Amino acid sequence: MKKPAILATLMLLAPPMMAADEPCNPDTGGTFHSCITFMLERIGQLEKENRAQQAEIQALKRWALTDGLVAYYPFNGDANDASGNGHHGTVKGATLTADRFGNPESAYQFDGNDSHIQSTISINLAQGITYSVWVFVQKRENKHANLISISHRSFSFFQTDGEFELCLGGCLGHHSVDNVQDNQWQHFVVTIDNKIVKIFVNSEMVKELEVSSSLQDIKGGSLYFGGEKGKDYNLTGIMDELRIYNRALTPKEIQSLYKQP
């Protein structure tokens, strides 16, 4: 093949933004060497632009904390999963109400009777998990008032007798924190990483402990918020901004969640 033909072929492959007076244009006397040089430089430029775009995308993901996000329920008018993973919730008795900023129909009210939200989820707790939620407790219960449960007490976090308790692996042991405040919004986060459990309240770690290997068998299943079907585990209060991750968030990330508007 003659060089002019090669140049013409490269021109066809060149980006559409190439101007007529570029050194790779055979119609303006461009040489084979100058054409190859131009194409390599352009490829390098595009790679740099792509890296910059990818870096920006990753930065945005870090800010939005989407890495490892399995389910996200902002409760903006419904119980749909905004993570894109399709774990949409079915609402039973819970009603939309104002969130902590006063935005109408942006959180769910649970009446303490039979109201709950149900979904399903696939997650391996042994590989790490984070559960994050904003809660407004309106009544302290002397029974289990469920905030979340996965596969019926394989993983559950509930309020009882003025405490929040974490129940793992069939509730072989309860792990409680006494930081419940009535009639005010609080941010609760539970992380599990390599058998180490941490509980955070308003971005401050209030408990750390090690759990048994029974988490190896927890793969997900039925997911409930605010109560549980057929069980007397009902919350009297409001929940908002519920997130579930398949990894343990760092303290810095948890602080970012707490400060997010």
For residue range 149-168, list pLDDT tens digits in order.
Answer: 776 555 666 556 666 667 66
Is 39 found in the same domain as 12?
yes
Residue that finishes a domain, picked among 63, 96, 111: 63
State residue 187's pLDDT score.
Answer: 93
Convert the pLDDT of each residue in 185-217 to its tens digit.
999 898 988 878 888 989 999 888 887 655 555
Is 71 found in the same domain as 23?
no
Is 130 found in the same domain as 42?
no
More confident residue, 22 or 223: 223
199, 190 Cβ separation under 8 angstroms: yes
- What band does 10 get if pLDDT is binned at 50, 70 and 90? very low
Q: What is the CATH number of the domain that holds 155?
A: 2.60.120.200
State residue 258's pLDDT score.
Answer: 93
Is 139 found in the same domain as 234?
yes
Is 108 found in the same domain as 26?
no
Is 107 found in the same domain as 49?
no
Range of the domain at 36: 3-63
More confident residue, 83 or 64: 83
Residue that finishes a domain, picked among 17, 40, 63: 63
Most confident by average pLDDT, 60-74, 167-181, 226-240, 241-255? 241-255
Convert the pLDDT of each residue in 54-68 to its tens digit.
665 555 555 568 889
Residue that finishes a domain, picked among 15, 38, 63: 63
Is 145 found in the same domain as 28?
no
| CA distance linking residue 31 with residue 132, whole number of Å | 61
State residue 210's pLDDT score.
Answer: 81
Which of 123-127, 154-158, 227-231 shows the lowest mean pLDDT across its residues?
154-158
Is 115 found in the same domain as 73?
yes
For a pLDDT cut of 90, what percent of the chain falls above it? 27
Is 83 found in the same domain as 56?
no
Is 54 found in the same domain as 73?
no
